[in-house]
């Protein structure tokens, strides 16, 4: 009985929990329209970047096939009884894994360079060209989301890194053209505390990114 009365009191008091203001309908609608236009552009860019990666993936595939061929040759020499192997069934996952590995390394390399430059610009002059930084972050965010949904994210460490990277990129992508210095400072702190840049450096092997050493 006492419980019932208290439950009623609870329900009454709970109605004020995070009481919402009036819905800013038009503002949210405008944002939806703008975001959908942005995302349509992003997916177009992502398709273009997939097209860009396709020759690299093909090259990686050929390299992996050659490597696998050599390995199979070695196995045949050492094994007295030749074993029948269905080449396509064995090779496809390896080829695909190599292609995703290459795309991931390239992406992480680009993200590392971008974040290093971004952090340096915040340190030196409290930021500069936020519009450009935001646009670059959006492009990287699109590739990042593609990779998160791909087999490249099966590896737990890579997945965690891509997820943390997504958070940082999303924050930079949402920067207004004239951000408050506190916003920039928070992003920089996030970068420093999460160790995203150092984890990117560890994940990208020396020479892994085509632009490595530019800094």
Partner 1 sequence: MEYVRDAVRIHDLTLRRRVDDKELIARVLEGDPSAERRLYDAHVDRVFRLVYRMAGDLDRAKDYTQETFIRAFSRLADFRGEAALSTWLGSIAISVALNGLRKVRRMRDREVALDEAPQMGRLSVEAEPDLKTRLAQAIDGLPDGYRAVFVMHDVEGYTHEEIASSLGVHPGTSKAQLFRARARLREALADFAKD
What are the residues binding partner 1 (CB under 8 A)?
A: 2-3, 6-7, 9-11, 13-18, 20-21, 23-25, 27-29, 31-32, 35-36, 39, 167, 189-190, 193-194
| C-beta of 6 vs 52, nearer to partner 1 | 6
| C-beta of 63 vs 167, nearer to partner 1 | 167
Measured from the CB of residue 45, what is the shortest distance to partner 1 in angstroms?
A: 17
| C-beta of 163 vs 211, nearer to partner 1 | 163
| C-beta of 151 vs 190, nearer to partner 1 | 190
| C-beta of 71 vs 189, nearer to partner 1 | 189
Measured from the CB of residue 18, what is the shortest distance to partner 1 in angstroms?
A: 4
- What is the token pair recorded at 89? 């069934």
Measured from the CB of residue 181, what is the shortest distance to partner 1 in angstroms?
A: 17
Measured from the CB of residue 99, what is the shortest distance to partner 1 in angstroms?
A: 27
State the Cα–Cα distance between residues 117 and 111, nearest whole angstrom: 10
Angle, vertex CA 117, rays to CA 112 and CA 119, nearest 5: 95
Query: Residue 97 class from Cβ within 10 Å (0-12 exposed, 13-18 middle, 19+ buried)?
Result: middle
State the Cα–Cα distance between residues 109 and 99, nearest whole angstrom: 15
Measured from the CB of residue 110, what is the shortest distance to partner 1 in angstroms?
A: 23
Instruction: Say which residue the tokens 């696998």 belong to.
Output: 68
Measured from the CB of residue 28, what is the shortest distance to partner 1 in angstroms?
A: 5
| C-beta of 124 vs 193, nearer to partner 1 | 193
């Amino acid at each position: 009985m006492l419980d019932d009365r208290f439950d009623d009191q609870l329900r009454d008091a709970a109605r004020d929990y995070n009481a919402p203001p009036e819905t800013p309908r038009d503002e949210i609608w405008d944002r939806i329209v703008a975001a959908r236009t942005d995302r349509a552009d992003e997916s177009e860019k992502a398709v273009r970047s997939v097209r860009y990666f396709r020759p690299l993936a093909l090259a990686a595939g050929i390299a992996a096939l050659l490597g696998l061929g050599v390995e199979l040759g070695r196995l045949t020499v050492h094994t007295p009884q030749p074993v029948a192997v269905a080449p396509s069934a064995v090779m496809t996952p390896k080829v695909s894994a190599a292609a995703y590995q290459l795309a991931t390394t390239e992406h992480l390399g680009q993200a590392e360079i971008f974040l290093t430059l971004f952090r340096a610009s915040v340190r030196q002059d409290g930021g500069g060209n936020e519009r450009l930084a935001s646009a670059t972050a959006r492009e990287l965010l699109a590739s990042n989301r593609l990779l998160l949904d791909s087999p490249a994210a099966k590896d737990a460490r890579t997945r965690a890194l891509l997820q943390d990277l997504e958070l940082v990129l999303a924050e930079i992508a949402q920067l207004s053209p004239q951000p408050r210095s506190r916003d920039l400072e928070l992003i920089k702190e996030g970068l420093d505390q999460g160790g995203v840049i150092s984890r990117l450096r560890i994940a990208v092997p020396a020479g892994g990114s085509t632009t490595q050493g530019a800094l």
